[in-house]
């Protein structure tokens, strides 16, 4: 029996990036697709509590795989897949996203949130994005998806960890090797643009170009910039242990005594 | 001049939890409120790209503070506050949320995402939640908010870090000391409930009670369960450095060679 892989994304089930991933995987794996019916960019890691979720069969470019579209978020799709159509997949692949997810962008990314949800559910996962938005070269990224999927069935990821993969938008011949990286930091300049509507009321658009703040070669940003595939291991335990140790040494300062309450309340 | 504090939340600007925080802070601080106009639960860490953002003056229970409601997410509010009404605050307080944000729940939490956005923007911040949804005791939590705000202007947080604070839902006399904690893990059983609509189509609701999987005393879950205020330091660099080191030792397995591409493409 072929190992089961769940493919999801945040660009929607009809995205060419998802189709490219499925095409590269279906020969060797039992591929199940559960993806949003439409684009869900910058939804972050949200789950749907306030409305019922639907799941309908759909065709992914005529490929011979079971596929469903949902009205949920990427994180919803991961939970839906395991519960509506068991058994749970042995690997979750989120992508291929059109546009990079680097540095702290991963906190806003629906693509990454699906891999993070998989890690929360205890499933091995990776998110994969191509760092381009026009004339995107999906084929080298898709070939790497198939390679990484096979590898991750051998090299098991620890529980709670997943990989965030970014592929430079280059034809296969120009792509450089894969590099294991840490998260970089991006900065955004001029993030808001103020406008006035015809009735004289102000409104705002997010804008601004990212300026690459921490693009040293060992970061995801630096690797992709130099033409390398970037593979960043992420863990869902985001406790700051160094700060925990430092603050624990002066834990008394965080105390909450009766006197303190009375003092605050007496103002 | 009083230090400036931005207060935001995800329950909406008219939440009694936000009002309690503002009441505890406005005497000692220059309080600016920028909060969503309505409840934004489980929005995760999303930013608004697809619609214009509005920001309108609003009253917070008649208190003498400048306050604005927006149609954005909690993370949007943090960005809006700094850019629309400079200077940037010296501290961002997100809450007081009705309901705990413990373990991996922080990834779905709008309350926590506002503090995380502040950390991304380089601002010190904490998120604060009361672990109760009915008959919520806001006063002890609000008194602690004021205490912690004063402390964080002395004990500075490293860039990229913030604190996630959870207060047990107890009257002041029954509340125990604050404890510095790591993130625990929750598990959720029976997460989806399947129903059939009048036309015979299936739909799903998320349901299920959390079962407390990792509630050892040093976790946020364990601390709150035992009646302690929990303070968890979080960092936005969520790279899994242990896994990065392990995988770097076998980096050759992640390679992406021409032969590999040709091999995959030839299928």
Please report the domains of chain A, with CATH numbers, ordered by start residue: 4-185+213-240 (3.40.1210.10)
Count of CA atoms in the C-beta half-sphere (13 A) of A103:
20
Return the higher-pLDDT residue of A170 and B205. A170
Give contacts of B108 with chain A, Cβ < 8 Å.
Answer: 45-47, 75
Q: What is the pLDDT of residues A138-150, one digit of tens each?
A: 999 999 999 999 9
Return the higher-pLDDT residue of A33 and B85. A33
- A52 contact B CB<8A: yes
On whether ipTM exceeds 0.90, the answer is no
- Report the alpha-carbon distance of residue A224 to residue A220 in Å, rounded: 6
What is the percentage of chain A residues whose pLDDT exceeds 70? 88
Which site among B264, B265, B266 would you substitute to test the A interface, given the most A Cβ atoms closer than 10 Å to its Cβ? Answer: B264
* Residue written as token pair 């080298």: A140
Please name the residue of chain A whose CA is at the shortest distance from the CA of residue B205: A52
CB burial class (10 A; 0-12, 13-18, 19+) of residue A53?
Answer: buried
Of B179, B194, B243, the CB nearest to A161: B243
Torsional sign, CA B150, B151, B153, B154:
positive
**CB within 8 Å: B243 and A235:** yes
**CB within 8 Å: B231 and A237:** no
Give contacts of A48 with chain B, Cβ < 8 Å.
Answer: 42, 206
- B241 contact A CB<8A: yes
Q: Give A205→chain B minimum CA distance, Å.
A: 5
- Report the alpha-carbon distance of residue A71 to residue A38 in Å, rounded: 8
- Report the alpha-carbon distance of residue A224 to residue A195 in Å, rounded: 35
- B171 contact A CB<8A: no
Give contacts of B160 with chain A, Cβ < 8 Å.
Answer: 185
Q: In this structure, what token pair is assigned to residue A197?
A: 């509507």
Give contacts of B26 with chain A, Cβ < 8 Å.
Answer: none
**CB within 8 Å: B204 and A84:** yes
pLDDT confidence of residue A263: 37
Asked if pLDDT for residue A265 goes beyond 50, the answer is no
- Report the alpha-carbon distance of residue B198 to residue B190 in Å, rounded: 24
Q: What is the pLDDT of residues B62-121, one digit of tens each?
A: 999 999 999 998 999 998 998 777 889 999 999 999 999 999 889 988 999 999 999 998
- B233 contact A CB<8A: yes
**Beta pairing class for A228-235 and B176-180:** unpaired
pLDDT confidence of residue B267: 36
3-state SS string over A194-251? EEECCCCCEEEEECCCEECCCCCCCEHHHHHHCCEEEEEEEECCCECHHHHHHHHCCH
Are A130 and A141 within 8 A, CB to CB? yes
DSSP one-letter code for B140 = H
DSSP one-letter code for B120 = H
Give contacts of B248 with chain A, Cβ < 8 Å.
Answer: 180
Q: Give A230→chain B minimum CA distance, Å.
A: 10
Q: Give A32→chain B minimum CA distance, Å.
A: 19
- Which of A21-25, A103-107, B65-69, B158-162 comes out lowest in average pLDDT? A103-107
- B44 contact A CB<8A: yes
Q: In this structure, what token pair is assigned to residue A230?
A: 């970037």
- A266 contact B CB<8A: no
What is the percentage of chain A residues whose pLDDT exceeds 90? 65
* Residue B262's pLDDT band (cuts 50, 70, 90): very low
Q: Give B135→chain A minimum CA distance, Å.
A: 19
Q: What is the pLDDT of residues A101-154, one digit of tens each?
A: 999 889 988 999 999 999 998 999 999 999 999 999 999 999 999 999 999 999
pTM over 0.80: yes
Size of interface A-B (CB pairs under 8 A): 261
- Report the alpha-carbon distance of residue B237 to residue A94 in Å, rounded: 21
Asked if pLDDT for residue A267 goes beyond 50, the answer is no
- A91 contact B CB<8A: no
- Report the alpha-carbon distance of residue B242 to residue B225 in Å, rounded: 30
Please name the residue of chain A whose CA is at the shortest distance from the CA of residue B194: A84
Residue-averaged pLDDT of chain A: 88
């Amino acid at each position: 029996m072929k190992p089961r892989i769940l493919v999801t994304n945040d660009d929607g089930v009809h995205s060419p990036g998802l189709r490219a991933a499925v095409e590269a995987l279906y020969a060797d794996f039992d591929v199940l697709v559960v993806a949003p019916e439409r684009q869900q960019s910058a939804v972050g890691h949200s789950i749907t509590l306030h409305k019922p979720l639907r799941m309908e069969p759909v065709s992914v470019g005529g490929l011979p795989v079971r596929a469903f579209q949902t009205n949920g978020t990427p994180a919803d799709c991961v939970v839906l897949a395991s519960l509506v159509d068991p058994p749970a997949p042995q690997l979750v692949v989120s992508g291929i996203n059109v546009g990079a997810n680097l540095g702290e962008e991963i906190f806003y990314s629906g693509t990454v949130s699906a891999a993070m949800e998989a890690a929360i559910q205890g499933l091995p996962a990776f998110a994969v994005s191509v760092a381009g938005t026009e004339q995107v070269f999906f084929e080298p990224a898709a070939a790497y998806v198939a390679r990484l999927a096979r590898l991750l069935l051998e090299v098991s990821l620890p529980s709670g960890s997943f990989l965030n993969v970014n592929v430079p938008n280059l034809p296969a011949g120009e792509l450089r090797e894969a590099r294991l990286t840490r998260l970089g930091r991006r900065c955004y300049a001029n993030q808001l643009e103020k406008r006035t509507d015809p009735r004289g009321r102000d409104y705002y658009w997010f804008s601004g170009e990212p300026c690459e703040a921490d693009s040293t070669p060992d970061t995801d940003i630096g690797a992709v910039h130099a033409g390398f595939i970037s593979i960043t291991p992420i863990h869902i335990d985001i406790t700051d242990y160094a700060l925990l140790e430092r603050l624990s040494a002066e834990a008394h300062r965080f105390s909450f005594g009766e006197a303190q309450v009375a003092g605050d309340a007496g103002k």
